[in-house]
Amino acid sequence: MLRIEPRIVAAGVLLTCSAGVPAEPGPASPPIGETPAILHHYEQARIDDGRYSFTDLFDAGQRLFDARFNLLDGQGRPETTGGGAPRAPGQPAFIRTSAPDANSCMGCHAQPRSGGAGDFVANVFVLAQTLDPVTHSVEGAFSNERNTLGMFGAGVIEMLAREMTAELFAIREDTTLAAREQGVPVTRSLEAKGVSFGDITVLPDGRVDPTAIDGVDWDLVVKPFHQKGAVVSLREFSNNAMNHHHGMQSVERFGEGADHDNDGLANELTEGDITAVTIYQAALEAPRQVWPKHGRARRAAQQGAETFAAIGCARCHRPSMTLDSRQFSEPNPYNPPGNLGPDDVTQPYTFDLLKTSNSNLVRNAGNGRIEVRAFTDLKRHNLNDTELGHFDNEQVPQGFLHGFADPAAFTVPPQPRPTGEFLSRKLWDVGNSAPYGHRGDLTLMTEAIHWHGGDARVERDAYFDLPVEQQAAVIEFLKTLVVAESRTGPG
């Protein structure tokens, strides 16, 4: 098949702006003819040296997030899958199912603006990207169709998960020491920020019996991203998504100088680029609570907030969690290989989440701490039972329960992540992020609540036992949780 290769297009432009060659932003003679969407790449060493202001990095990240990548950027991965494995040459540049499936991150993350959630039409067929092209079928046997989530407030979510992971690691370490000292298996309960993740048992030889661990991977790394709870950081997600959706391959994932996908370009995204796009997402302001102006609606929303807690919705959709540190720091220490880690930089890049969140759902809690009102517990639950099974609509397991750990560290063989379990959805943007449910196939909040069986059956039944005005009041409360239509803060 005859392919237009980057090097035969507008060669003059490429000499000065080839992908991956770090160039500094600033006035330059305007390029003539076709150009890459990204003209400037960022050097991690200069970020480490503090050479860029927060605004420089945030804006650079937004440019990467909003850019409609093209052939000259390195868009496309003609000979590799979205998982990075080889596939037969001559694959189409775009395939709606197994991707590349979009021109930009913002192509899906657009409601009400860059960084937001998406329409049903922006759904992704998660895991189709690891197959040879799924060209003819959106059958559930091949992939899990998921709706686009917004990442407003994602920085505090990543930090909450990091602090929870540190708590769970400390418990495991303690349990391991006790088991070693006592020479018998020791069991402790796993609790982080007041959320119970079941029990851990450690054997004297250090192996973990994971059978009573609940709602988190056996490696105890709280992974707040993907509705399945499969990804630990915005950085890991960005490295995945750049390759999956756009065929844009980062140096930290695919290696320096390697044209892994054989599209004629290497070094398509630098470490600094991935830092910038991560900072952009992490610093996006958080959703906010906007009370209705009309007295009747306002009273209903206030009453609904109380009812929401009284009938137990708040057990999973936690109205308050406390972050001990208000600093976001990049990169995340729990990143798996293939992503920059703290040892790869001279110093982590930090910023103040209280400032960037700029929201009444992220409040100063004193002593350097902040209160986060995201309405989630960052734990996986199973909302399915014999009568209510809508949320059990997936067939392809997304990874394994041992997470990033060596399977030999456990007493039982590897098990896939359960297809029927999902993280308690963050509700802080629920007021303007329709559609609902992990597949985005529900148009009303009431439908989403209706399908809360299994672990949430008691709370769900309590909701439908309420008089209809009180049900409407809970909905009125949920409608107060929104993403602002236009940017209100520094992030």
Residues that bind ligand HEC (CB under 6 A): 101-102, 105, 107-109, 122-124, 126, 146-149, 151, 225-228, 234, 237-238, 241-242, 245, 277, 281, 308, 311-313, 315-317, 381, 383, 391, 422, 424-425, 427, 430, 433, 436-438, 445, 448-449, 452, 455-456, 459-460, 463, 474, 478
CA distance 392 to 427: 20
CA atoms within 13 A on the CB side of 264: 17
CA distance 299 to 381: 32
CB atoms within 10 A of CB 177: 12
- Minimum Å distance from CB 185 to ligand HEC? 29
208 vs 235, which CB is nearer to ligand HEC? 235
The answer to whether the beta carbons of residues 338 and 253 sit under 8 Å apart is yes
Sequence-separated (6 or more) residues with CB below 8 Å from residue 30: none
Give the closest residue to 319 by CA, choosing from 489, 445, 478: 478
CA distance 435 to 120: 7
- Minimum Å distance from CB 259 to ligand HEC? 19
349 vs 477, which CB is nearer to ligand HEC? 477
CA distance 418 to 67: 35
CA distance 431 to 303: 17
- Minimum Å distance from CB 418 to ligand HEC? 12
The answer to whether the beta carbons of residues 6 and 265 sit under 8 Å apart is yes
- Minimum Å distance from CB 230 to ligand HEC? 7
102 vs 251, which CB is nearer to ligand HEC? 102
Sequence-separated (6 or more) residues with CB below 8 Å from residue 228: 380, 398, 399, 417, 421, 422, 423
186 vs 301, which CB is nearer to ligand HEC? 301
- Minimum Å distance from CB 439 to ligand HEC? 7
120 vs 404, which CB is nearer to ligand HEC? 120
- Minimum Å distance from CB 402 to ligand HEC? 19
- Minimum Å distance from CB 201 to ligand HEC? 24
305 vs 311, which CB is nearer to ligand HEC? 311
- Minimum Å distance from CB 409 to ligand HEC? 26
Give the closest residue to 155 by CA, choosing from 40, 233, 46, 227: 233
The answer to whether the beta carbons of residues 76 and 95 sit under 8 Å apart is no
CA distance 26 to 24: 6
366, burial (CB in 10 Å: exposed 0-12, middle 13-18, buried 19+): exposed
The answer to whether the beta carbons of residues 370 and 323 sit under 8 Å apart is yes
- Minimum Å distance from CB 166 to ligand HEC? 20
CB atoms within 10 A of CB 8: 10
208 vs 330, which CB is nearer to ligand HEC? 330
- Minimum Å distance from CB 375 to ligand HEC? 8
251 vs 478, which CB is nearer to ligand HEC? 478
176 vs 238, which CB is nearer to ligand HEC? 238
Sequence-separated (6 or more) residues with CB below 8 Å from residue 254: 84, 243, 260
14 vs 316, which CB is nearer to ligand HEC? 316
